Amino acid sequence: MNVKTAIESRRSVKAFDPAHRISEVEVRELLGQAMFAPTAFNIQNWRFVMVDDPALRQEIRKVAWDQSQVTDASLLLVMCADLKAWEKKPERYWRNVDAPVRDFMVPAIHQYYVGKEQVQRDEAMRSCGLAGMALMLTAQEMGYDTCPMDGFDFDAVGKLIQLPDDHVISFMLAVGRGIQPPFPRGGQLEPDEVVVHDRFR
């Protein structure tokens, strides 16, 4: 499937076949493609929590507006990020380059993030967005439907997955076999409402 078709045909689907099982190979492929998404300074700050345990899915559903995709999707991912990835052995993000490049990058990473809590959080959300789109388009190509979600109690889901204090949830992503057509598009803005030339006016 080409990129254009994948983007245009991807729609958020809410009803999934609960009997469908996704294979380990497919899951590996989906996560592997997400890991090709770019991150600033290559800090790879995303952490993908794959929720397999049916009891845990039920608990999450209770704090996610009782949405059926939480339990019925073949794959449920909580897209998280480590806010402190930048300071956890950052030399590993540049281990394959020449020493002078690494010796430049590692202090630059520190300098960029140290003491800047909002910058760290913005990076978390941004990285998960980039990776999430790669994952959804890969799923589309594999014949799956997806549903990105932020309609849930973030704190409650964080507790359920034992989210570390220095991590944050960006959104959840359900992947599976859709069993209902998506709703028609709600109302798309025109390009001139979204695209700005040079400066806002």
Residue list 10-49, contact with a copy of itself (CB under 8 A)? 10, 12, 28, 31-33, 35-38, 40, 42, 44, 46-49
- Is 199 an interacting residue with respect to a copy of itself (CB under 8 A)? yes
Per the listing, tokens 């709703």 go with 183
**Whole-number minimum distance, CB 179 to a copy of itself, in Å?**
20
Between 19 and 185, name the residue whose CB sits nearer to a copy of itself: 185
**Whole-number minimum distance, CB 18 to a copy of itself, in Å?**
18
Among 50, 58, 110, 143, binds a copy of itself (CB under 8 A): 50
Q: How far apart are CA 40 and CA 57, in angstroms?
A: 32
Q: How far apart are CA 117 and CA 181, in angstroms?
A: 41
85 Rama class: left (phi>0) / alpha (psi -120 to 50) / beta: alpha
Per-residue string for binding with a copy of itself, 76-115, x by CB under 8 A? ----x-----------xxxxxx---x---x------x---
* Residues 144-163 contacting a copy of itself, CB under 8 A: 148, 150-151, 160-163
**Whole-number minimum distance, CB 177 to a copy of itself, in Å?**
18
- Is 137 an interacting residue with respect to a copy of itself (CB under 8 A)? yes
Among 73, 145, 170, 177, binds a copy of itself (CB under 8 A): 170
Which residues, 6+ apart, have CB-to-CB distance to 51 below 8 Å? 57, 60, 76, 77, 78, 161
- Is 1 an interacting residue with respect to a copy of itself (CB under 8 A)? yes
**Whole-number minimum distance, CB 90 to a copy of itself, in Å?**
10
DSSP symbols for 39-107: -GGG---EEEEE---HHHHHHHHHTTTT-THHHHSSEEEEEEEETTGGGSSGGGGGTTS-HHHHHHHHH
Report angle CA 83, 84, 87 to the nearest 5 degrees.
Answer: 155
**Whole-number minimum distance, CB 28 to a copy of itself, in Å?**
7
Q: Are 81 and 127 in contact (CB under 8 A)?
A: yes
